[in-house]
Structure 1
Amino acid sequence: MTMADGKKKDEVTGIETTGHEWDGIQELNNPLPRWWLWTFYLTIIWGIGYTIAYPAWPLVSGATAGVLGYSTRAEVAAEIQRFEDQNAAVSATLASSDLALLSPSDPAHQFGVAGGASIFRANCSQCHGAGAAGAKGYPNLLDDDWLWGGDLEAIQTTVAHGIRNETDPDARWSEMPAFGDILSEEEIVATAHHVLSLSDGDHDAALAAEGATLFADNCAACHMDDGTGDRQQGAPNLSDAIWLYGGDLDTVVTTITNARFGVMPAWGQRLSLADVKAVTLYVHQLGGGE
C-alpha cells in the first residue's frame, strides 16, 4: 500500500516500511523502544560531560586537561611516592651502609636484594638476560669469572661507573689492541692455538708451541704468562674455558685480530646510591659473587 506522501505501508500490520525488500519480505520501520532511545541520549550527554571533566581530546603536544585536572600519571606518581616515603628509612640505611658489613638478616639487606631484583629486571636484563646468565658479548653474572672482581665493593664500582663508557671519568677501562695490524695471519692463528691450549681447548700442539713465544711477547703483559689474566687491568682469564664471545678457534682468531670493546653504562648517573647498592646486593647473591 502506498500512502499519499509516497511512503509505503505494510498491508498486514499497517506499519510504514523502510522501502527495503528482500525476496518479497519488507522491512518495517518500527520505532525504537523509548527506554533504548533515552539510554542512548544519556550516553551522549555522559560522553560530552566526560570530555569536559577529564582529559580526552588529543592535541598537537598533549590533550585537553579537563576541568577536574585529573591525571593518571599524577596518580601513579603519588602512589610511587607513598611507597618511597614508607621505605625512606630503610633506603637511607642501605645507602649509608658498608655492604660488606651488612648482615643478610638486616632489613636493609633484605630490602636491597628484593629491590635490586626489580632494578635489575628494569635496567640490566636487556643485556645480561632475565636470569643474569648473559649472552654472547654480555657477561654471565652467575659464574665466578669476574673481569674486575666479584666482591661487593668491586661490583658496586662496576655498576656505579660502568665499563669503557665516555660519560663517567671513573669508568672501568681496558682496551685490547687489534693484533690484525701487528701480527700476520699465520702468527695470529698460532697465538690462538696457544690461547686455546691454556684451557685445554681443541688445538694444534705444534702451532700452540709456536704461538707460546708470540703470546709471551704480545699478550702476557696483560693476561700473564699463564693466561690467568689481571683484574687490575681488566684482562680476562684465558685459562678457565669461560668465554665472553666464544672459545672456538675462529672466534678466538677474530678476537685477536680485531679485539673487543664492550661498553656498559654508568648506572650511578641514572640510579640513586641506594638503588646502585641494591642491585649490587642482588647481583652478588645470585651465586657468582665472591
Structure 2
Amino acid sequence: MKWLNLSDNVNLLSIIGAIVIIAVVLIVSLNVFKQMKIKKESVETSEHEWDGISEYKNPLPIGWAVMFVVLIIFAIWYFLIGFPLNKYSSIGEYNEEVANHNAKYKEKYIAFDDESKLNMGRNVFLLHCAPCHGAEATGINGKAQDLTNWSSVAGILDVLENGSTGLGYGEMPAGLVEGDDAKAVATYVANGMQGEVGKDVFETTCAACHGENGEGTEGVAPALNIYTKPDFIKMVLASGKIASADASVKVIGAMPSFKSMLSDEQVDAVARYVSTLSKE
C-alpha cells in the first residue's frame, strides 16, 4: 500500500494521530456506556429550570480536560518541531515550480514580436472571452458587450445613452449628454481626447467625475484618457464589471474579474487583441 509509507514523517504522524483518536473515542464511549448502567438515587442540577425541567450539573470529565491540554501541547509541538511551516510540502513545491515557469515565460513573452502577441491574445480571447462575447466579439446578440465598437463613437454613444456600471465605481446614469453634444463628446473620447471637437462639452459635463484631463477620480469614475488603449482593457479585466441595481441603467450583466485567472502576459496579450477589434 503506497499510502502506508512509514518513512514519510507526515504520513507516519497522521497514522499515529488516527490511531490515538480511535483509541480515545473507544475508551470514552465504553466509559459512557458503563456509567449509563449505574443508577443514581440523587443528582445535582443547575439553578436554571424550564417548565419544570432542570439541567444536570455534571463536572467536566477528566478525560476531556486532559485531551484538551494534550491537543494544545500537540499543536504547539506540531507547528514548531513536528512539521514547521517552512518545511517541505507538495503545495510549496508546486507553487515554486509555477513561479519559476511564470518567470521563464515572462522572459519569452517579452521577446515576442507584436504579431505573436496579437495571436496569443486572440487564442486567450477565444478560450476565456468568446463564451460570452462570441468568437467575433460581437456580444452574441446582446448577451455581452459588443467589443467591435466599444472604443468607437458608436460605442461611446451607447454608453452615454444607456449608462454604465463602471469598473467597481459608482453607476453612471443614462442621458447625461444628448443629441449633438453627445456626438461631440463621444468623438472627443474616441479620438483619445485629442482635438477641440467635444472638448468643451467634456469639460463642462464629464470632467466633474472623470477629471479635467480624463485621468479619472479614485472611487468615483474611471480614467477615460486611456479608453482607446490596451491599458483600459487591462483595467476591465482586473476589476470586472458589476451588474446595476438601478433599472434606469441599461447594462448587460456582471463580468468576473480575471485578475487571478490570467497571467500578466495573458492580460497584456488579450488587451492588445481587443484594442484592434473596433471597426471604426
Rg: which structure is higher? 1
Query: Normalising by the residue count of structure 2, what TM-score does the alignment of the two structures yield?
Result: 0.34
Structure with more relative contact order (C-alpha pairs < 8 Å, separation 6 or more): 1
